[in-house]
A and B are shown apart, each in its own frame.
Chain A
């Protein structure tokens, strides 16, 4: 049934436009906590020259980390939980700072270096994803993590073209990780 998930994600343009600048989801680990299952993930963001230039020019770039907890079924896998994390990265030239704003939490963090900002976005630590009581021991579950670059947050003039430009193909493919009961 994981195949169905892959097929589903096939329809996402970023996969079609997969390029050298695609984000990569690495090292997903799921640990059983006291009440919840907690997720750790490392994400590698790599910006294309055009995207870097846009960032330097002050254009905010937004990524959405989509985390889905799925239960395997006979014909179709069902989604138990869905979490969304947003990161909006912007450069403030005057203050020489990079800000990362999260719409989901409303929190804003400032970084004096670009590497520091990327490092902050790339590490997800101890994120509670599902309550342990919702996981049945005789069922198979897995987590899908995918990072989408939000083209719609780009300025209007560049928006339609970004869908067809590999320089803006900054999304990742989906990465799956089983949940061990």
Chain B
């Protein structure tokens, strides 16, 4: 605030500057006149004004340079400033140049008019007339002096001294003196009794008269003009008579006047060109100083005028760059000031609106983030579609269930996903069809072969409508119900097994006992042939009952929860141990590819041994004791958990798609002999140990099974 008070207003500075320039120019104008006392400081004034011009020129140069830089940087208001200053300079220089030109013309003509031939001749004539008049007087006084010489020739010094007064009066002189050759005063007489000594001739006068020449010259002494005449006195000893004649006052005054006028005129004639140059110099300096001052003031004023415009442009740019809180300082209360105020109001309102939008946007963003979090953490897969069935969002569960990064296909349709993942063609086509056709909520179960085997999805779809009833998209939610359905199936089979055990196994023992009793009681009573028949029949009954018991036991085992006794098993060693039993049995070649590090799982060794036996035996049977079995063991990481992955591939007849769908279900078998419970039990054991088993559908040279069991760190 204090700085503001101390700051000198621009207008005051300008008035002060112009005052200073006018004063300086006035002083210089006055100094140009010869009679002025200021003529003594004329040179200093000239230097001062020149330095002022240089200073202003430098100031303007700095301003021009600064403006050029602003123009180069395309700064706000620079082009407007340039245009205004250019216009001002053009408008001020043009009339000033015209005035200057005509002033110089008038000046030259005016000075030239002072001089002409008639005045020159008149002045010279006047001088000649005066000189002639004075020369006549000089000649007269010389003659008088010579006459006086005759009076003193041959006389003694004493006599001459006595006659001096008479001689002085006779010629009406002011002073008379007689000098020796050496210049000593012999005798003298003066009209002025105060003059003790006569006027002593100068050395150069002595040089002149000692050559026996007469000397006549004017001698201005104080206010009086005298004619000094010295003539030699031709005696034995050379002497010199000096007589001073007064020039009448009137003639002396006229002489002074003519002398002064002639000198003045001659001086003017000599200075004629210099005078012109001098006036032109002053005029140029005045013009240059005024113009430079005006241009500098134009710079200051125009910058002052353009300042609010620059502010406005700066503010507009800031708003364009998103700074809606831009407020400009209102410098003036004129139209531009009103414009700045309006701009401030506008930015205030925009900033307020922007705040509201930001708040709403933040809220929406928070809600969206919350929704995304919910969606991401849902166990069900969720995919939303736009009006043109393009994927908008897909959550993490969708990837987990489908094993496809659906979120990478945002902005594309499901048909585009098919191109990259053809294994899900049927699924995507079905969903796409439902999306396009369904007008209401739909639900459908889909089965497909995923990378981990057969999967069942329960899909629910909902079309989305805008408040005005326009269809804007749809959403599909799906769950992997494979495990659920499998569990349901397992439970059902368990129930069947239990019933079989109860309903079938119980009557089998009496049947077997009855058959054995018939054999025992009737064998001795029948003929040999009949006894043989009885023997075969009862044996068949007993064998079949045994077979049925075994079958029922198998079912019981399948249905009964296993009693596991878990311990750490080195899977590498266990597999090698089991394979050792099969290597020498047939011509089947077994190729192994095991991880170099030991893989340890925590499991029931009996159950795992059963699993491995079952899988190797199945492969062996599928190849009719001829071919190659490839067994791999490695570690894999899935969902941040480390698993032991055991896979077995044979090059047998392989599995059909239909077989793959039901391979792990009880009573499903491709073999002539077998209960069809082997793989069902294998799957049950693996799942009881927290693992998974599936058919590797990517392997097409035979059948391939992949088992994954969680490992432990020892």
Contacts and interface: CB of A to CB of B under 8 A. Distances in A.
5 contacts: A94-B134, A94-B262, A96-B218, A152-B40, A157-B274
Contacts of A56: 266
Contact of B274 (A95, A111, A116, A158): A158
B263 A58 contact: yes
Interface of A: 53-54, 56-59, 92-97, 109-113, 116, 119-120, 151-152, 155-161, 163
B130 interface: yes
B5 interface: no
A94 B277 contact: no
Interface in B27-47: 31-34, 39-40, 42-43, 46
B34 A93 contact: no
A151 B202 CA distance: 30
Query: Closest 5 A-B residue pairs measured CB to CB?
Result: A58-B263, A157-B278, A57-B266, A57-B270, A94-B259
B539 interface: no
Given A110-B217, A155-B34, A95 B255 contact: yes
B393 interface: no
B218 A58 contact: no
Given A157-B274, A161-B274, 17 more contacts: A93-B262, A95-B255, A95-B259, A96-B131, A110-B220, A111-B202, A113-B204, A151-B43, A156-B31, A157-B271, A157-B279, A158-B271, A158-B274, A159-B42, A160-B43, A160-B281, A163-B43
A97 B134 contact: no
Contacts of B127: 93-94
A95 B262 contact: no
B258 interface: yes
A94 B126 CA distance: 10
A116 B34 CA distance: 30
A155 B277 CA distance: 13
Contact of A112 (B134, B217, B278): B217
B interface bracket (residues with beta carbon within 8 Å of A): 35 or more
B275 to A, nearest CB: 4
Contacts, number: 88
Nearest to B215: A112
A11 to B, nearest CB: 15
A54 to B, nearest CB: 6
Nearest to B41: A152
A155 B271 contact: yes
Contacts of A59: 267, 270
A151 B39 CA distance: 12
Contacts of A95: 134, 218, 220, 255, 259
Contacts of A152: 40, 43
Given A59-B270, A110-B218, A156 B32 contact: yes
Interface string B199-228: 000101000100000000111100000000
A96 to B, nearest CB: 7
B131 A157 contact: no
B34 A57 contact: no
A54 B270 contact: yes
A97 B218 contact: yes
A57 B259 contact: no
Contacts of B218: 95-97, 110
A139 B40 CA distance: 41
A53 B266 CA distance: 10
Contacts of A58: 262-264, 266-267
B39 A156 contact: yes
A83 to B, nearest CB: 23
A160 B278 CA distance: 8
A157 B217 contact: no
Given A57-B270, A112-B217, A157-B278, A94 B258 contact: yes
Nearest to B219: A110
A159 B277 CA distance: 11
Contact of B204 (A119, A156, A159, A160): A119
B269 interface: yes
A53 B272 CA distance: 13
Contacts of B39: 156
Contacts of A97: 217-218
A113 B46 CA distance: 37
B263 to A, nearest CB: 3
A59 B267 CA distance: 6
Contacts of B40: 152
Contacts of A110: 217-220
A158 B131 CA distance: 29
A112 B34 CA distance: 28
A154 to B, nearest CB: 9
Contact of B277 (A54, A93, A120, A161): A161
Contacts of B42: 156, 159-160
A138 to B, nearest CB: 41
Contacts of B255: 94-95
B265 to A, nearest CB: 9
A57 B267 CA distance: 6
Contacts of A156: 31-34, 39, 42, 278
A120 B202 CA distance: 10
A89 B145 CA distance: 31
Contact of B259 (A92, A159, A160, A163): A92
Contacts of B131: 94, 96
Contacts of B269: 57
A90 B281 CA distance: 28
B204 A93 contact: no
Nearest to B35: A156
A109 B281 CA distance: 38
Contacts of B274: 155, 157-158, 161
Contacts of B46: 160
A43 to B, nearest CB: 17
A157 B134 contact: no
Contact of B267 (A113, A151, A155): A155
A95 B263 CA distance: 12
Interface in B98-132: 127, 130-131
A111 B134 CA distance: 17
Interface string B595-621: 000000000000000000000000000
